[in-house]
Amino acid sequence: HKHWLAGGAKKAKPLDAGSHWFQPGGQAHDDQCVGAEPCILFIVSDGKFDFTADPKAKAPKAGKYKLSARKALKWTPLDPAQPDGMKMAVVHGDPKAGAFGMLLELPPGANAGLHSHTGDYHAVILAGAPAHWLPHEQGEGEAVAPGTYWWQPGGYDHGDRCTGDAPCVAFVWETAAMDFIPAGTKPAAAPAE
């Protein structure tokens, strides 16, 4: 996939799966799917989605445009005690303060077990063969393919694991600050002010 601001086609380079960009509203830009496989985009819009094609659009001011190639993202372990475990790269927002977007990578064989989060989240699989399941389902879910999407409501137990021999990568958009509540436990009480 290539993404560029109007007038920048000559400088556009193919992006790896898992790349991210922030595109301010009203800013002319272009996208092109390159390669043999379909390009899968997960778009989060905080307003009306307006798709107005204009091949003659002029280059705009850059504004707050941000493009982050996957190789340039800062990956950090979800659990510092397990540096080779699950990792995340925050691409939008602050996971300690509220809604945020991240790329999440699970190594082959990783299993988060049943757990919940306070807020809802949306996920799109970018690579690998992860499984997502609910407590009433038999086993620990079937592997899903890249391009699979799910919405997980907050407060409900679910499980996630990475099957196969390759890492599993997802784009995740959470609606609240990040937390992880193992099944059978209650979330910690908010500190008194």
pLDDT of residue 66: 72
- The rounded distance, in Å, linking the Cα atoms of 107 and 90 is 18
The stretch 22-50 carries a mean pLDDT of: 73
Residues 6+ apart with CB under 8 A from 148: 124, 125
pLDDT band at residue 148 under the 50/70/90 scheme: very high
Q: What is the pLDDT of residues 86-123, one digit of tens each?
A: 999 999 899 999 999 999 999 999 999 999 999 999 99
CATH 2.60.120.10 location in the chain: 73-182
Q: What is the pLDDT of residues 166-189, one digit of tens each?
A: 999 999 999 999 999 999 886 555
In sequence order, the β-bridge partners of residue 67 are: 21
Tokens 């609240």 locate to: 176
pLDDT of residue 72: 85
Nearest 5°: phi and psi at 77? -65, 140
| Domain 73-182 CATH (choose: 2.60.120.10, 3.40.50.300, 2.30.30.100, 1.20.1060.10) | 2.60.120.10
